[in-house]
């Protein structure tokens, strides 16, 4: 029953992205939602035909989940870019951190491979979800510390990803401990958490969105004139990072 509800909710979200043309502002997020919807329907057919506990359905479902995880990582990177890309230097640092997290996830999955395929993808998923939650929390701390304004819609999208990731880490940890007996409950709770995230995303994208463009920093004299309206700490950090990345590009 919940599976059907999730598919209908996902279809509603895809339709909303299309009707409001929000796929233009969030192409990676739209691809993630669409892919998740299609593979969710395919997984339902696989389980219906092969059974929930068969080895074939387990391998097929985790193979599809690997595709969803890749799309999910791209969607999270896109949301973080919306939150930070107004400052080129800061975003240049952020995407390198995100890429480093992805590399650590691959390393973690590779080390877990010695336990067999059945453990690789659950461990990789848990590592990725943990990295997503940590990155989003770090971004929110950064925004709070530097008093950076961000669109409410971007914040809600990020919160949806973060809440689902936190729950998924806990759920997969319990799954690893009680593998056979916990699988049905694990699947139900996973779908329930994702349903909650989709409701947040539907609320955030109920209105048309426009793609943001990086802000061009004003000359120093203008900032001094308008000092009360700008955060000097963030401006200084952004300028230092911009100069650093330019120096690195020139050196290479």
How confident is the model over 164-190, as pLDDT tens digits? 999 888 887 776 676 656 666 777 888
Our CA angle for 57, 186, 40, nearest 5°, is 50
Residues 6 or more apart whose CB falls under 8 angstroms from that of 35 comprise: 67, 68, 71
Instruction: Report the C-alpha dihedral over residues 12, 13, 16, 20, rounded to 10 degrees.
Output: 180
Residue 95 phi/psi, 5° resolution? -70, -25
In 3D, which of 161, 150, 160, 205 has the Cα closest to residue 23? Answer: 205
- pTM of structure: 0.78
Instruction: Give the confidence band of 111 by pLDDT, cuts at 50, 70, 90.
Output: low
Q: Provide DSSP, 98-112.
A: HHHHHHHHHHHHHHH
Q: How high is the pLDDT of residue 128?
A: 81
Does 226 score more than 50 pLDDT? no
Q: What is the pLDDT of residue 113?
A: 53
Q: Convert the pLDDT of each residue in 33-52 to its tens digit.
A: 999 999 888 888 887 888 76
212 pLDDT above the threshold of 70? no
pLDDT at position 220 is 46
Query: What pLDDT does residue 29 have?
Result: 96
Contact indicator for 164, 121 with CB cutoff of 8 Å: no
Overall average pLDDT of the 53-66 stretch? 79
User: Does residue 100 register a pLDDT over 90?
Assistant: no
Q: Count CB neighbours of 176 within 10 A.
A: 15
Lowest mean pLDDT among 21-25, 167-171, 222-226, 228-232: 222-226
Q: Name all contacts of 239-244 with Cβ < 8 Å and 24+ positions apart.
A: 239/89, 240/89, 241/89, 241/90, 241/92, 241/93, 242/88, 242/89, 242/92, 243/89, 244/89
- pLDDT at residue 198 above 80? yes
pLDDT of residue 47: 78
Q: How far is 47 from 67, CA to CA, in rounded Å?
A: 18
Is the model's pLDDT at 191 over the cut of 80? yes
Nearest to 74 by CA among 22, 106, 30: 30
Average pLDDT, the chain: 78
What percent of the chain is predicted at pLDDT more than 90?
A: 26
Do the beta carbons of residue 79 and residue 161 sit within 8 Å? yes
Among left, alpha and beta (phi > 0; psi -120 to 50; other), residue 51 is left
Task: Read off the pLDDT band of 213 (50, 70, 90).
Answer: very low
Whether 202 has a pLDDT exceeding 90, the answer reads yes
Q: Are 175 and 182 in contact (CB under 8 A)?
A: yes
Mean pLDDT of 121-129: 76
The number of residues making up the chain comes to 252
Residue 144: how many other CB atoms lie within 10 Å: 9
Question: How far apart are the C-alpha atoms of 72 and 54, rounded to whole Å?
Answer: 26
Task: List the one residue out of 162, 157, 158 whose CA is nearest residue 133.
Answer: 162
The pLDDT tens digits for 69-90 are 889 989 998 999 898 877 777 6
């Amino acid at each position: 029953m919940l599976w059907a509800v999730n598919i209908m909710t996902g279809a509603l979200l895809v339709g909303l992205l299309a009707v409001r043309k929000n796929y233009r502002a969030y192409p990676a997020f739209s691809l993630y939602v669409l892919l998740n919807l299609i593979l969710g329907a395919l997984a339902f057919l696989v389980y219906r035909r092969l059974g929930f506990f068969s080895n074939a359905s387990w391998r097929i479902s985790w193979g599809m989940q690997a595709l969803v995880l890749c799309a999910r990582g791209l969607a999270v990177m896109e949301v973080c870019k919306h939150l930070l890309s107004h400052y080129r230097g800061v975003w240049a640092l952020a995407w390198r951190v995100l890429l480093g997290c992805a590399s650590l996830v691959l390393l973690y999955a590779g080390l877990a491979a010695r336990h067999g395929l059945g453990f690789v993808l659950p461990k990789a998923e848990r590592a990725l979800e943990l990295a997503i939650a940590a990155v989003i929390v770090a971004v929110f701390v950064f925004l709070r510390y530097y008093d950076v304004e961000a669109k409410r819609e971007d914040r809600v999208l990020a919160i949806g990803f973060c809440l689902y990731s936190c729950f998924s880490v806990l759920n997969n940890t319990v799954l690893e401990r009680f593998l056979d007996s916990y699988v049905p409950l694990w699947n139900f709770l996973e779908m329930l958490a994702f349903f909650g995230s989709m409701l947040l995303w539907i609320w955030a994208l109920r209105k048309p969105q426009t793609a943001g463009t990086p802000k061009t920093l004003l000359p120093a004299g203008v900032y001094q004139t308008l000092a009360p309206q700008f955060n000097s700490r963030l401006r200084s950090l952004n300028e230092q990072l911009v100069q650093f990345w330019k120096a690195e590009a020139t050196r290479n």
